Amino acid sequence: MKSARLHDRRDIRFENVDMAPVPGPNEVRVKVAYAGICGSDIHNFKTGQWITRKPSIAGHEFSGSIENIGDDVRTFQVGDHIVADSRVYCGECENCKSNYQHLCDKLGFIGEAIDGGFADYITLPAHLLEKCEPETRLDVAALAEPLAVALHALKRVDAPDGHPILIVGCGPIGALCAVAGNLLGDRKLLVSDINDQRQLQVCSLTGADAVDLQAFDQFSNPSNKLVRHVIDTTGNVGVISLLVSQLSGASLALVGIGEGSFALDPVHLVEREISILGCHAFSSELGDAVRMLETYPDVFAQLIGPMISLEQVPTIYDQISLGHADDIKTLIKIDNE
């Protein structure tokens, strides 16, 4: 079958590989329809930070249909439309037992700990699947995993209705935070991105106002309200440091994956009562993400940019890693059914 496999840092290849295994007990084999390229995929490609096995079929954001079912699977049938839960967790540590699987002591992800969805087929434990309605658009459904990440960040920052949110970064997660935030509550959104095209697209889709982060003032801004809730999706330590220096009496949720570190004076956090919130993957939001995509498919479809083939993955990885990407979400079209 066709696949895109990560062999090492900056080494991803289109390859023909053996068919995904016949499913064993409590497993299913999925015929992949669409897969998304995630910022964390590019981070791993650039840095090799999470390469624990190689080569490994990449990809943890994907949709498809069930092609084969192993023994003891009762919740799915052949032909069901599904999306995947990207988290590979042990189920035995204290975090898992407390339904904090996203903080599992041994947490890994599909496409890293086990083979991923950049392939014609993938075999997975049935508990890592979320069922979609039969009429669900599978291209839009491929956004479910990153939308769950966005919903988790919105939940963590916990802005009440009527309170504005500043979203920094208009890549996939930032755009999904903005779209979901617009759909879920009565609040003004502010967005900021160095890419004018992405920023304009998110503003057009959500009614958000664009702000220049260098000149941002939480007390005087286009929302005409005090901004106390901020989500950073860039992971850029310079951006995060700037936000910390600008804010007072605010919550700053960090969901982006970046590199590097910066000096942080805890007294500054104390005197300005700044809360910094880490937002890792998602907890229980995947089902909510699927339902939202099924309710508003035409809205979310506007975030999908170019459709590429598996053969094009290495070239597109290089382009995105060099910052040559104006579109919000690149999908790999694997099976058009």
Q: 284 in a domain, yes or no?
A: no
Among 190, 151, 163, smallest CA distance to 293 is for 151
Answer yes or no: is pLDDT of 337 > 90: no
Asked if 192 contacts 221 with a C-beta cutoff of 8 angstroms, the reply is no
Are residues 219 and 323 part of one domain? no
pTM of the predicted protein model: 0.96
Total count of residues recorded for the chain? 337
* Cβ–Cβ < 8 Å for 109, 49: no
Q: Cβ(79)–Cβ(337) under 8 Å? A: no
Q: Say if residue 318 is in the same domain as residue 259.
A: no
> Distance between alpha carbon 142 and the CA centroid of its chain, in Å?
10
pLDDT at residue 122 tops 80: yes
Average pLDDT value for residue range 228-245: 96
Is the domain of 243 the same as that of 199? Answer: yes
pLDDT at 234: 95
CA gap 152, 114 in Å, rounded: 24
- Please state the rounded mean pLDDT for residues 197-214: 96
Average pLDDT over residues 264-293: 96
Give the number of domains in the chain.
2
**What pLDDT is recorded for position 306?**
85
Indicate whether 188 pLDDT > 70: yes
Q: Provide the β-strand partners of residue 332.
A: 35, 308
Which residues, 6 or more positions from 79, have their beta carbon under 8 angstroms from its beta carbon? 65, 66
On whether both 43 and 157 belong to a single domain, the answer is: no
Q: Is residue 109 domain-shared with residue 11, that is, in the same domain?
A: yes
CB-based contact 251:230 (threshold 8 Å): yes
Which range of residues forms the domain containing residue 264? 150-278
Residues 273 and 230 in one domain: yes
**CA distance linking residue 192 with residue 239, whole number of Å:** 11
Q: Are residues 270 and 201 in the same domain?
A: yes
Q: Do 179 and 87 share a structural domain?
A: no
Task: Taking each helix axis as running N to C, give the angle between helix 39-47 and helix 313-321, from 0 to 180 degrees, rounded to the nearest 10.
Answer: 80
Same domain, 320 and 261: no
Whether residue 320 is contained in a domain is answered as yes
3-state DSSP call for residue 112? coil
Flag whether 293 is in a domain: no
**pLDDT confidence of residue 185:** 84
Quick one: tokens of 238?
A: 């310079």
Please indicate, yes or no, whether residues 166 and 243 belong to a single structural domain of this protein: yes
Question: Whole-angstrom distance between the N-terminal and C-terminal Cα of the chain?
Answer: 16
Q: How confident is the model at residue 300 (pLDDT cuts 50, 70, 90)?
A: very high
Is 205 within the bounds of a domain? yes
Q: Are residues 45 and 123 in the same domain?
A: yes
Question: What CATH number is attached to the domain comprising 231?
Answer: 3.40.50.720
Both tokens of residue 164?
A: 């504005």
> What's the whole-number mean pLDDT along residues 237-257?
96
291 within a domain of the structure (yes/no)? no
How would residue 327 be classed by pLDDT, with cut points 50, 70 and 90?
confident
Last residue of a domain, one of 278, 293, 325: 278
* Same-domain check for residues 12 and 128: yes
Residue 287 lies in a domain: no
In a domain, 292, yes or no: no
- Structural domain includes residue 294: no
List the CATH number of the domain containing 82. 3.90.180.10
Mean pLDDT for the chain overall = 95
